[in-house]
Every structure is written in C-alpha cells, then in structure tokens.
Amino acid sequence: MKVIGIVGEYNPFHFGHAYHIEESRKAAGEDSAVVCVMSGDFVQRGEAALYSKFARAEAACRSGADLVLELPLPWSLSSAEGFARGALGILGNLGIVDTLSFGSECGSADALSRTAELLLKHETDERIRRELKENEGISFAAARQRALAHFDGDLALLLESPNNILGVEYIKAIYEQSLDITPVTVMRLGAGHDAHGDALPRSASEIRRRIKAKNDADGDIPAAALEVYERERRLGRGPVFTDALEIAALSRLRMLPKEAFALLPDCGEGLSDRIAAAVSEESSLDAIAAAAKSKRYALSRIRRILMCASLGVRKGAALDLPPYARVLAANETGCRLLKEAKDKGRIPILTKPAAVKSLGTESLKLFKLGSDAHDFYVLGYAAREERRGGTDWRQSPKIL
C-alpha cells in the first residue's frame, strides 16, 4: 500500500482539497493511504485559522485524509522554506511515507524538481547574494527569481506562482533531508491561491472572505467537513478571525521592550526597528504592518513576525526539525499507520499530550508554546464558556 504525504492548512477544508486527495489516490492506487501534516491554530499568513486545529483535522479526516498530524507553531508561522522543512521533517521521519503530493499551478513535478536542484547549487546562492547587493531594497523573493533567470528563464517563471513556490520548497526539503520520498503534483483547478471571484472551486481565501462577510460559502465545503464546522459554530467556537484577537495581540506587542523585536524570526535590525516604532504608535495590526512594510519586506512576512511576537515564538525556533509528531485525528486506516510508524519511524508520536513530558526539555518547551498559543486562540471564540485555558493539554485525538 502506498502512503501519500500531504501538507496543508485546510483553512477551511474545501472541494479543492478534496479533489487533491482524490487525484493523489488515483495516481498512487485506490488502496493508498493519506497522511496530512496540518498547521495548528495559526497559519502561515500570520493569522488565526477559521477553526481550531482539532476541528480542521477532524474535518479533513472525515473528507478523505486517514491521519492528520500537527505542524507545530514555529514552523506553521515560518516562511515557505521553514514551513516545508518542518512538514517534511515530520513526514520523512515517520518512516512510512513514500510519496509527497502537492498542488501546483504548473502541474509538472519534473520542472519543479529541476528548479529545486538549481536553487540548491552554490552558484545560484552566490548569484542571489549578488542581486541583493546590487539592487538596493529588493526583496529576497525577487532576488531569487532574478538569480534563477540568469541560469534558466523558464524555471524562473515558475516562481511567480505561490503553489509552485511551496512545491519547490517541499522538493528542496526532500533533497536536503535525503528522504526516500517521491514528489508528485496535482495541477490546481479553479481560482488562484488568493483570488477573489466565483471561479470554482473557490480559493480558501475567497471562502474566508465570504464567511467573514456573512455570505453563503457552505456550497464550497464538502458535507462531512461542513458538518464539523456547523457544530463548531453552534458551540460558539468559530469562525475565528484575527480581528477578534487584535486587542489581546496589541496589548502583548506594546508590552515588549524594543530589543525584543530583534529576537523575532526573519526580523533583521532594520525591520525590527520599523516594527517596534509602528507598534508604539499605530492602533491596529493592519496599520502596524502597513507602517512597517517596504519594497523589501512583504506584508505576509510582517504579519508572521507580529504573530510570532504575540505568541512568544523567537528566532531560531524553526531551524531544526520538529522533535515529535502529534496526532490530531485518525480513522481506522490512520490508526494502522500509526502502529506501523511507531515500529519504523525515527520520531516520537504523541497521542496523549501528557506523554510529551517524557520526551525531554525541548519537546516540552515546544508543546507548551503551542498550548499557550491555543489558549490565546480560544479568546476569539464567541462563547465565553469555551475560552477556558489549558484545553490543549486535555485534548485527545479524534478517532473516527
């Protein structure tokens, strides 16, 4: 039986995600199993997820996934490179995943693999440094694309699309970690990654926009996932928007000393000063991000930094690989996979939160960081009684 690894945020799980799982299974064989590594309560855009990691994992498991594992907070709030490195660190160390499937705009795993190989070459790295030096104010992403164009213009064009970029980072992680995993890709259908409008299937960002505007988005979500989300709504546990956490985030940011901003991920000296100044003056997270933004620093990077500052994530937290794999949800097939991974894997698997206490100081510190973030996240719930603290320590995986 083939075991397919998939990395996602499922924010929320929609028909495009279901299509991806279905097509991945068709390519690998209908008896294949699907293991997902999914972001926790906060996602790479530097925002709160619509629904908690527990609800989103259950929705994914009811809609095609067999096993859903959590990508811990520091990697969930990383750049594409760190995000991919952490996710592949978990999938690769399970010892059971032989295929990685991801969506892309180009639909060619071969082209993305050649791009990854070129980016890993020393001469490409030197060229990127040269572009950054010779073009004042240029972003790293733009410098990288220019450097790649110097060697292969067609491959450089692939880096204009967000899913292609993530795909390249996944493949780089496979190479860098020497994983025996074959990358395959499913061409993305419907709306673009961040596109608005009615192209089907709609993008997750468009679905979130419609939900926030209280427009009907139920038709964009598979029935099994929708049932989970409707339950969460009834219980007052979502949808959660970052707006609901803004006052809590601002209070934490304003209490930080100026020097603390230099200790944040992806926050060099110049940017840390800009953010610290904006935090001391501006009245909203959006205003802080806008004030700190420049041609060199993208809004998404600044939002991640602000969320890391609010949640206590510090520089270097995502440099290594996650030290454990936490189970969020599983079905019968997923439970069989867990047994196999415990025999073949090179990473501890957490099914009971308290078991992290036996894994050492670093694992315990990481879990506490995530549990504190969950305590922060639940402050965005509409139902006061659901805002209790410490729930991350009491939550067992959802077994279907």
- What percent of the chain is predicted at pLDDT more than 90? 90
Which residues is 70 bridged to in the sheet?
38, 326
CA-CA distance, 383 to 236, in Å (whole number)?
5
Mean pLDDT, residues 152-172 taken together: 96
Q: How far is CA 350 from CA 4, 36, 69, 341, 363, in A?
A: 20, 15, 9, 12, 11
Model confidence at 90, in pLDDT bands (50, 70, 90)?
Answer: very high
pLDDT score, position 209: 95
Which residues is 36 bridged to in the sheet?
6, 68
pLDDT score, position 351: 97
pLDDT score, position 91: 98
pLDDT score, position 216: 85
CA-CA distance, 308 to 384, in Å (whole number)?
25
Whether the full predicted model's pTM is greater than 0.85, yes or no, is yes
pLDDT over 80 (residue 190): no
Block residue for tokens 């997750």 = 204
Helix (H, G, I), strand (E, B) or coil at 230: helix
- Closest-CA residue to 337 (of 152, 67, 139): 67
Model confidence at 298, in pLDDT bands (50, 70, 90)?
Answer: confident
pLDDT tens for each residue of 112-121: 999 999 999 9
Model confidence at 238, in pLDDT bands (50, 70, 90)?
Answer: very high
pLDDT score, position 390: 97
**Amino acid of residue 224:** A
Pairing of the two strands 99-104 and 42-43: unpaired
pLDDT score, position 192: 52
pLDDT score, position 198: 62
Helix (H, G, I), strand (E, B) or coil at 5: strand
CA-CA distance, 363 to 393, in Å (whole number)?
14
